[in-house]
Structure 1
Amino acid sequence: MNGAVASSVIDAVRNALGPVGACLPVSFTSNPHADLQREAARRLEGAGCRAVWTNEVIGKDALVQLATLLSATGSMAFGTCIANIWARPAQTMHAAAAQLAQAYPGRFVLGLGVGYPEQAASVGQEFGSPLTTMREYVNRMDNPTWPPAPEAPYPRIIAANGPKMLELAGDIADGALPAMLPAAFTAHARQTLGPDKLLVVGVSVEGDPIDPAAVVAQVGEQLTAGADHVTLLLPIGIEFASGIRQLERLAATLAALPGC
C-alpha cells in the first residue's frame, strides 16, 4: 500500500461510516458465539447504525471477527478500535487488512493500537518506546512479502490519546483514534492532523438505561470539535445482549443527526 491512501479512499470511508457508530460490547471479554454476533450486526444495521467497531487483545482476532460480520451484513462499515500490534506481524496485519478491503471495498478501517507491556510479554516481545514501536511497526507493514498482499487500499488510523502519538498518526497514518477524552482534545487533534486525515473519536456512554438525549449532545459536541466519526463505547463488562438492545434504541435516535 506504501503509506497514506488517496484522499478519495478517505472520503469514501467517511461517507460509509457516517457521523456515528458503535463498538460491540465485547471489550476485554470473550467473544459471544459467531451466530449471536452476526445477528447483532444485522439488528444494528436494521436499526440504522452505519458502522460497527470491535477491539482486540491477545487471544482474540478482530480481523477474523470482522470478516464474519462483513459477510453477514449489506453495506455496514466496520473498523478495529483497535487491532493490537502484538497480535500479528506487521506484514500479516497489512495482508489481512488488504484482503478485507479487497473483499469489501470502502467498508473497512484498520485502527492500530500499541497495547500494553503485558501483551508484548505474552508473545515473547519487549515493550519499548510506544512511539518508536508504533513507527517501526507501521513502516514494516509495507515491507514486501511473497506472495504479495492484495493491492486494495484501506485507511490506517492510530490510537492516539496523547500529543506525541497524535503527531505520529498525522505523519505515518491516515488519521487517529483518540478515546474517552474531552472535545477540547478532539479540536486539538483536528488542528494537528489537518482537514484531510480521518479522525474517529471513541466516546464513553453511561447510564442504565442510557439517556439518548445525553448521547446526542456528546456526539454533537465531538462532531463540532472536528471529529469525522464518533464511536460509542458501552461500559466494559456489560452483558452482550443488553448492550445490543441499548445500541438499537440509540441508533433510532442518532439516525436523526445530520449526515446519518
Structure 2
Amino acid sequence: MGPVGVCLPVSFTDNPHADLQRAAAGRLEDAGYRAVWTNEVIGKDALVQLGMLLSATERMAFGTCIANIWARPAQTMHAAAAQLAQAYPGRFVLGLGVGYPEQAASVGRDFGSPLATMRDYVNRMDSPTWPSAPDAPYPKIIAANGPKMLALAGDIADGALPAMLPAQFTTQARRTLGPDKLLVVGVSVVGDPIDSAAIAAQVHEQLTAGADHVTLLPPIGIEFGSGIEQLERLAPALAALPGR
C-alpha cells in the first residue's frame, strides 16, 4: 500500500462514468500513487466500484474510506470484502464507518450508540452464512476520530482510520493502538492554488507521528476530473518524501 495514497474526488453534482473512473485510476497509478480510497453513502456502493477499479489495474491497492455500515448487512459486508480479497490478494482494505443518524433513518434503522452499533456490526460480520464467505483475509479498519472509537478499533479491528485531525492525535492514536495495528490517516487537500510543499510537509508530519499510511482527501464537491488533475500535480512533491 505504501506510505501515501489518495481518495477519489467526491462530487455533489455528477456520477463519473465507469470509463472515466477506470482511466483516473490508471492515471493515479502512473503518477506514482500506490493506493486509492473511495467513500460510500446510501445509494453508492463502494465495493462494486472498487471491484471495477481493481480489475482495471495491476498493482494498486484499494480501500474504502469508508464503507457505510448502513449500506448492507454485516454478513454481506464481510462476504463482499472477502470476495475482493480472494480475487485480488493483498490489494484490498476494508475501512468501516458508523456514518450518521440520517443514513440509518434512510434505511429504516435506529442509529443508537455509535460504539455499541459498531461493536455489534463487526461482531456479526463473522456470523455463519450459507453459502459461506470466501476464506480470504483482508485488513479491517474503523473510522475513528475520537478516543473511544479509537480504543474500540484497537480492540475489535486491525486498525483505525482518523481523518482531518492534527498530528498530535496521530501520536496518541499510535499509543492507543500499539505498534502492530494499521493506522491510516486522512489529510485534506486544501488551498487555491494548492501548495504542494505544504501538503507534503503535512504528510511527512503524519507519517513521523506514527501513521502507516496517509490518504489525501480532495475538497468535497470538487468536479471529478479537476480533483484527479489536482492529485496528479501533487505527486512529484510527495515522491520526494523520505521512504517513497
Q: Same fold (TM over 0.5)?
A: yes
Alpha-carbon distance in 2 for matches of 1:114, 1:22: 21
**1:112 aligns to what?**
96
SS at match of 2:110: coil
Between stretches 171-180 and 207-216, larger displacement belongs to 207-216
Question: What are the residue-to-residue correspondences of 1:140-219 with 2, within 5 Å?
Answer: 140-219=124-203
Match of 1:230 among 208, 211, 214: 214
1:14 corresponds in structure 2 to none
Confirm whether residue 90 of structure 1 aligns to residue 91 of structure 2: no
Identity of aligned residues (%): 86
Residue 124 of structure 1 and its aligned partner are, at CA, apart by 0.7
Unaligned runs of 5+ in 1: 1-16
RMSD: 1.0
The letter of the residue matching 2:222 is I
**Whole-Å Cα distance in 1 between the matches of residues 239 and 216 of structure 2?**
14
Given that residues 111 and 158 in structure 1 are in contact (C-alpha distance below 8 angstroms), is that contact kept between their aligned partners in structure 2? Answer: yes
Matched with 2:33 is 49
Quote how far apart the aligned CAs of 1:211 are: 1.0
Deviations 1:197-234 (A, max 9, x none): 00000011111221110011000110010000000011
Query: Measured at CA, do residues 20 and 141 of structure 1 come closer, stay the same or move farther in structure 2, by a change above 3 Å?
Result: same
Could you say what secondary structure the match of 1:216 adopts? Answer: helix
Contact 1:179 1:203 in 2 (8 A): yes
1:27-106 pair list within 5 angstroms? 30-106=14-90
Letter of the 2:177 counterpart: L
Q: Structure 1 length as normaliser, TM-score?
A: 0.92
**Structure 2: distance between partners of 1:192 and 1:73:** 35
Q: Which runs of 5+ in 2 are unaligned?
A: none
- State the secondary structure of the residue aligned to 1:199: strand
Q: Are the aligned partners of 2:11 and 2:224 in contact in 1 as well (CA < 8 Å)? A: no
Contact 1:28 1:57 in 2 (8 A): no
Listed one character per residue, the Cα deviations across residues 152-201 of structure 1 (whole Å, up to 9, x for unaligned) are 00000000000000000000000000000000000000000000000000
Note the C-alpha offset of 1:251. Answer: 1.5
Please report the TM-score for the alignment, with normalisation by the length of structure 2: 0.98
Paired residue total: 244
Q: Does 1:136 align with 2:148?
A: no
Q: Which residue of 2 aligns with 1:5?
A: none
Distance 2:10 2:221 in 1: 7
1:55 shift after superposition: 0.3
Pairwise CA distance, 1:29: 5.7
Q: Deviations over 1:18-61 (max 9, x none)?
A: 11111000266653111000000000001111110000000000
Cα contact 1:157–1:175 (8 A) shared by 2: yes
